[in-house]
């Protein structure tokens, strides 16, 4: 079993990354920092003549790397009660992958398992619930099993260490990932 973490944060070593590291302590995994990739917003050409066209950015490379793994962990700070725009742009592009004839995206991603790690500053265990529901609908659409999520609370750099509940949940997820 191999694991990849997709980091949606825009800040280096922020609270979400720290919580993800805690979750993955001692477990080999790949990391993709979306902020270091160039991923353009989707241009919705589903109904245009000729359909989607090749896009000159890093999306192809990233999605290929994602598809090489068994467990996908989406780690995102909560920006305005949702995932970050850079992660959203990445997921929006799945609509293009769904029509990509080079591979069967839906069949491939359905064989994997997904987790979400989200860290927010404003009552995230309540106000990030719509975000969790969106991930659920998104994963359901591509038949990707949603195995679990952790919500952490933090605002200033380093705050996440004070969230004893998130720490407990990180322990749980660490154990769960080891057993797979």
Judged by CB under 8 A, does residue 152 bind a copy of itself? Answer: no
Stretch that binds a copy of itself, among 25-33, 65-73, 99-107, 135-143 (CB under 8 A): 135-143
Out of 29, 37, 106, 125, point to the residue binding a copy of itself (CB under 8 A). Answer: 125
Stretch that binds a copy of itself, among 56-64, 66-74, 77-85, 99-107 (CB under 8 A): 77-85
Strands 3-7, 30-33: parallel, antiparallel or unpaired by DSSP?
Answer: parallel
The closest alpha carbon to 135, from 156, 155, 149, belongs to 149
Out of 35, 37, 65, 106, point to the residue binding a copy of itself (CB under 8 A). Answer: 35
Judged by CB under 8 A, does residue 137 bind a copy of itself? Answer: yes
β-bridge mates for residue 118, sequence order = 76, 151
What three-state secondary structure class fits 107?
helix
Stretch that binds a copy of itself, among 8-16, 25-33, 51-59, 63-71 (CB under 8 A): 8-16
90-95 LR contacts (CB < 8 Å, sep 24+): 90/6, 90/8, 90/34, 90/39, 90/59, 90/62, 91/138, 92/41, 92/42, 93/39, 93/42, 93/59, 93/63, 94/142, 95/42, 95/44, 95/46
In whole angstroms, how close is the CB of 167 to a copy of itself at the nearest point?
A: 8
Stretch that binds a copy of itself, among 52-60, 68-76, 87-95, 107-115 (CB under 8 A): 87-95
The structure tokens 């995102």 sit at 76
Out of 71, 131, 144, 177, point to the residue binding a copy of itself (CB under 8 A). Answer: 131
Judged by CB under 8 A, does residue 175 bind a copy of itself? Answer: yes
């Amino acid at each position: 079993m191999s694991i990849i973490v997709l980091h949606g944060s825009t800040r280096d070593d922020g609270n979400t990354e720290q919580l993800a590291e805690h979750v993955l302590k001692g477990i080999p995994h790949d990391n993709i920092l979306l902020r270091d990739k160039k991923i353009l917003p989707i241009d919705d050409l589903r109904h245009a003549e000729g359909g989607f066209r090749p896009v000159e950015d890093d999306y192809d490379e990233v999605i290929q790397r994602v598809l090489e793994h068994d467990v996908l962990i989406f780690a995102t700070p909560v920006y305005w009660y949702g995932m970050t725009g850079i992660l959203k742009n990445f997921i929006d592009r799945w609509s293009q992958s769904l029509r990509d004839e080079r591979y069967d995206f839906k069949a491939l991603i359905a064989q994997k398992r997904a987790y979400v790690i989200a860290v927010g500053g404003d009552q995230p265990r309540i106000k990030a619930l719509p975000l969790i529901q969106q991930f659920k609908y998104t994963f359901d659409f591509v038949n990707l099993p949603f195995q679990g999520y952790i919500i952490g609370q933090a605002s200033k750099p380093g705050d996440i260490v004070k969230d004893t509940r998130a720490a407990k949940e990180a322990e749980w997820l660490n154990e769960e990932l080891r057993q797979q």
